Structures are given as C-alpha cells and as structure tokens.
Amino acid sequence: MAEFSLIETIRERCAVARDDVRLGIGDDGAVLAVPIGHELVVSTDTLVAGVHFPLQTAPFDIGWKALAVNLSDLAAMGANPAWATLALTLPSADAPWVEKFADGFAALAREHQLALVGGDTTRGPLSITITVFGFVPAGAAVTRAGAKAGDWICVTGTLGDAAAGLACVLACEDGADELIGRLNRPAPRIAAGLLLREVASAAIDISDGLLADLGHICARSGVGAEVCVDDLPMSEAFGEYADAPTRQRLQLAGGDDYELCFSVQPDRAPALLWDLAQSGCAATRIGQIVVGREIMLTDDSGAQIEMPLRGWEHFA
C-alpha cells in the first residue's frame, strides 16, 4: 500500500461530517470554525508500541485507545469533542492492519461526532500521535487549579481494572476479559465532564495513576489531600482478581484508568454525585482536600498507610 492510498483508506473509514469543518483532509491544512462565544481546548498524546500498549494488542483496540486517551483529556476540562488530527508511524504499510486500526478509531469518533481533519503518515517504529480539539463556553473550562481545603475528592467509575488487565495480558492469564477490555477500550467520560463544568473546583483524568494525577491537582492548586484507600471504588471483576495489597497498589498507582478525579465544594457535592449517577457514570467520594502540600493515605480506622509507588513517569 502506497502512502497516499493509506491516507485515503484512513479518510474513508473515519469520515464524520461536521458543519464546522470548512475544509478537511486533502489540502495543506484544515479550515475549521470555532463557535461564537466558545474557546478551543487542545490536547495531544502519543502512544508507542510496547510502552503504552502491549505489542500483541489488536489494531482495532489500538485505534480506539489512541483516540480515547485524548478524549479523556477533553472530558477532564469539560469540553465537547469536535476535531482530531492523526500522525501515524508504521514499520510497513500493512493494509489490513491500517483498516482495522482506522475502524477502531472511527468507532469511538462516531460516538462523539468527532471529525478527523488531518495528520501525517511516515515509516518507523509503531507510534500514534493524536491531537484533539474541543469546545467550551468562554471561561468555563475545568482546570487542575482551583481545589480548596474542605473540598470533597471524588472519582468516576472504578479504579484498577486496566492495570489488572495489563497484568493478565503480560502473564497470559485467561478469563479476564472484562479487565482486559478496560485496558484496551477505555471509555472517555465526556458526559461526566460536561456535568463537572461550572461545578467542580478542579479536575484531571487518571492516566498515570490516582496518586500521580491527584498530585497534579494538589500542585496546581497549592493544597494537600487525604484519601481513604478503603473508599476507592472497584469492580466485581477487580475485587475477585486481586488481594488487598495488590488492589491498593493497582488502584493508587496502576494507571490507565481514564476515569475523572475531581474536587467539589461540600455543599455542591451531593447534587453533582446524584446527577452523575443519573447519567450512568457514578462517582465516589474518596477523600478531601486539606491545607498543606502532601497526599496522606489512610484506612477506615484513620491509620496512615505508606505507598512507595506514586504512578507512571516516563523518564523516572
């Protein structure tokens, strides 16, 4: 498959029509229209084979996940997805692989009416770089700064499933389809993020592990946090998979959850949690923001817990 045939395959399989795309794939650049009264939220993530996904991952799942991890950033900021660009580096122009990859990308893109508007292809070790663009009403983006002492700390969904799924893949364990599914096809919490907008005081998506990402909120907001490890939400499959020490490690530092961690004022929290539950994406209170700079972990009895691992860092 020649390069331009590869590009045409991706264009055809990922086509989503939007009125705000004045000119899409096929020219030197895309021409796009941002709605009046809105701001543009932009985020980029790169996925590298063997680092961000196991080498044996199916191309459909790679296409899905490459877009999902970017959409998760938009969700954390309360943005509506609109457009994306894709830079795809391949060791060879493998037509069946590219078709399945594009189908995975397109399946998730169509769920959110997201249009692929440009990108690049080149030869080299397998990696995928996607930039996503979304809209928020002017001044309404949720950021990592803004958490205040006394705010509740909450997370959507359940934690630890994807990290457990990765462990199952690497160990070639059978019977863990639900956990592996959470690893390969995370669900970006776009609808939940829209509910957080103008209610949450701060938010972040959990990609590198709860402790690492909550730490970013604390750093940007100039606060500390207390988290009760016994309150961390888990799925039934995860509870059956791991013993207590393993559960703590994977939920706190495993990463790849792509859930939202957010802070909210106590008087606004019950209504927000109700709205999230009604939307089909329940959230759980796991702690509170405190004065200071550190994150302290406790159990149900209030006893402090030490956790040497804090999450994923590429150059650690």
Do the Cβ atoms of 256 and 212 come closer than 8 Å?
no
29 marked as binding residue: no
267 marked as binding residue: no
Length of the chain: 316
| Angstrom distance (rounded) from CA 58 to CA 36 | 40
85 marked as binding residue: no
Return the H-helix or E-strand segment holding 167: helix 161-170
Q: How far is CA 49 from the centre of its chain?
A: 18
28 marked as binding residue: yes
Backbone angles phi, psi at 36, to 5 degrees: -60, 135
73 marked as binding residue: yes
158 marked as binding residue: no
120 marked as binding residue: yes
Do the Cβ atoms of 192 and 274 come closer than 8 Å?
no
144 marked as binding residue: yes
52 marked as binding residue: yes
44 marked as binding residue: yes
| Angstrom distance (rounded) from CA 246 to CA 249 | 5
255 marked as binding residue: no
20 marked as binding residue: no
Question: Which neighbouring-strand residues pair with 121?
Answer: 88
256 marked as binding residue: yes
43 marked as binding residue: yes
- Residues of each annotated binding site for substrate: 52, 256, 312
- Residues of each annotated binding site for ATP: 119-120, 144, 207
- Residues of each annotated binding site for Mg(2+): 28, 43-45, 73, 120, 205, 208
- Residues of each annotated binding site: 28, 43-45, 52, 73, 119-120, 144, 205, 207-208, 256, 312
